[in-house]
Amino acid sequence: MNIRKLIKSLLFIFVVVSLGVLIYKEFSPKNESNAIDVTATKVDTVAVSGESVPVPESQPLRKPSTKQKEKTPSALTEVKTQSSKVIAYYFHGTFRCSTCRTIEQYSLDAIQTYFAKELGNGGLEFRPVNIEEPENKHFIQDYQLVTRSLVLSLMSDGKETKWKNLPDVWKLVRDKDKFFQYVKDEVDKLLKET
């Protein structure tokens, strides 16, 4: 009987703490401004290095991104001279499922395999974005996102002229070769327009 009471109390405490954390995370204004600060720097690092959000789950991305880092100085200078470029956004939430991680990894791998040159000269960029962070919320409307998505955006003279969501990443995630080909074809199409 005592064990029952103990379990009951523990579960109640867990429920109350959960609700407390949930409410705190939703409504705490301090927390929200913190999130903005953190993500503002995150966006900076992303823009510079193309590196994923620095959380443990992005670890598989670390290795390739260091490769990119070496190239960034030239990339940055070229961005200024280049009038148009393609940005490949990968949109994810705070909770990362395994299929979503695969999609992100495949997208990055495909882009690095086929477009190393464009990545190097700044004509193409890979940006993972967490849409659950307040300042990224506008992407949901901008690109009509219903789930984790890979979106290609064509920028010319600092303005977006065209974008395309690649919904088939979800269908092709079980077939690596087709997935790579799909990403390659779509990126190629948009790169031709730069």
Partner 1 sequence: MELFLLASAVWLGILTSVSPCPLATNIAAVSFISRRITQRNTVFLSGILYTLGRSLTYIVLGVLIVKTLVDVPILSDFLQRYVNKILGVVLILVGMVLLDLLRIPLPIPSVSENVAKKLAEKGTFGSLPLGMLFALAFCPVSAALFFGGLIPIAVKAQSGIGLPLIYGIGTGLPVLLFAFLIAAGTGYINNLYYRITRIEFYTKKATGIIFILVGVYYALAYIFELI
CA 51 to chain centre: 9
Nearer to partner 1 (CB atom), residue 15 or residue 40: 15
**In the complex, least distance from residue 185 CB atom to partner 1, rounded to whole angstroms:** 20
DSSP string, 48-81: HH-PPPSSGGGHHHHHHHHHHHHHHHHHHHHHHH
Nearer to partner 1 (CB atom), residue 73 or residue 167: 167
Nearer to partner 1 (CB atom), residue 100 or residue 124: 100
Nearer to partner 1 (CB atom), residue 12 or residue 176: 12
Nearer to partner 1 (CB atom), residue 26 or residue 157: 26
Say if CB 187 and CB 114 are below 8 A apart: yes
Binding region for partner 1 (CB under 8 A): 4, 7-8, 11, 14-15, 18-19, 21-22, 25, 93-95, 97-100, 131-132, 140-141, 144-148, 167, 170
Q: Report d(CA 133, CA 92) in Å as an integer.
A: 10
**In the complex, least distance from residue 58 CB atom to partner 1, rounded to whole angstroms:** 14
**In the complex, least distance from residue 170 CB atom to partner 1, rounded to whole angstroms:** 5
**In the complex, least distance from residue 133 CB atom to partner 1, rounded to whole angstroms:** 12
Name residues whose C-beta falls within 8 Å of residue 122's C-beta, 6 or more positions apart in sequence.
74, 75, 76, 78, 79, 82, 85
**In the complex, least distance from residue 37 CB atom to partner 1, rounded to whole angstroms:** 18
* 194 membership: H or E segment, kind and range: none
